[in-house]
Amino acid sequence: MLKVVIAGCSGRMGHALLESVFADAELVLHGAIDRPDSPQIGRDAGELFGKVSGVKISHDVAAALVGADVLVDFTRPEPSLQYLAACRQAGVKLVIGTTGFSTEQKQQIESASSDIGIVFAPNMSVGVTLLINLVQSAAKVLAEGYDVEIIEAHHRHKVDAPSGTALRLGEAAASALGRDLETCAVYGREGVTGERDPNTIGFATVRGGDVVGDHTVLFAGIGERVELTHKASSRATFALGALRAAKFLEGRKAGLYDMRDVLGLK
C-alpha cells in the first residue's frame, strides 16, 4: 500500500484528506503533520473519525517522512516550501494543492522537481482539470469578438485572491489566445474605467459564507455569450483528486506534473 503523509491535518482540507485516506484500501496513513501550536498535536489522527490509526499528529516533518512514499500538502506557501525542502532531502514524492505562490516560489518547486516527483496544481478536482481543457478549446474557437471574464467565489476564510484556480483558467485562455496573462489581466474595476480593452482578461472575486469553490469563465460576444462553470459542493472532490495524484506518482521518475498528466489529458 502507498504510505501517505498529510500536512495541515487539522484544517478543513486536512480533514477531508484524512477521511479519504482511511476510506481507500490502497492507501495507508503514515504520518500526520500540523503546526507546532496546534491543539491536535499528540492526538491520534483518526480520533475525529472514530478510528485508532496509530499515527499521532506531529509537527516533526523529518520524522513523519521517514519511510513515507508521498506527502500531500494543502496549506500555505511558507509551510509548503518547508515541506518541499524536507521532501527533497528525504526523497519523498509530493502533491501540492496549496495556492498563492509567488513566481519565485513556483521556481523553487520547479527546481525541487529535478530530484523528486511532484504533482503541483491549484485545483485537484477532476472536473476543474477538464474545465481547463474546455477553456483552451473554447478560447481558440472564440478568439475574435469575444471578451473573456473569469468569476470566482470562495468561503470567507480564503486568504488569497483571485484563487489559484481562477488564475490557472486565465492562463489557459491566455495561452490559447496567444496572450501573456501577466500583461493582459485586469483584477479590479472601479470608477470611470473607459471602454473595455478587448485584449484583456478580467477577474472578479467573491468571498463569503461557506462557498467551497465556484468558477465561471465567460466568453461574451455580440448577441450571445458562452459560460463554462464548475461548482464544488464538497472538499472531498479535491481530496480524492489529490490522492489520485499521489497514486499517479508511484513509480514515476522525478519531474513536475499537473492534474492533466494525472488524468492523461496532455
Look-up of cell digits 488524468: 263
C-alpha cell, 239: 481530496
Cα separation, 107 vs 122, in Å, equals: 15
- For residue 177, the SS3 value is helix
DSSP annotation string for 35-75:
-TT-TTTTSBTTGGGT---S-BEES-HHHHHTT-SEEEE-S
Q: What is the CA radius of gyration of the chain?
A: 19
Dihedral over alpha carbons 67, 73, 79, 81 (to 10 degrees): 80
Choosing from 15, 56, 59, 158, the catalytic residue is 158
Which string of b and e fits 56-84 if b means at least 16 CB within 10 Å? ebbeebeebbeebbbbbbbbbbebbbebb
The grid cell for 126 is 477532476
Residue with cell 473519525: 49
Q: Does the annotation count 158 as an active-site position?
A: yes
Q: Of residues 93, 154, 215, 230, which has the active-site annotation?
A: 154
What is the rounded distance in angstroms from the CA atom of residue 53 to the CA atom of residue 45? 6
Q: Look-up: residue for cell 498535536?
A: 41
* Catalytic status, residue 154: yes
Give catalytic residues, as residue numbers: 154, 158
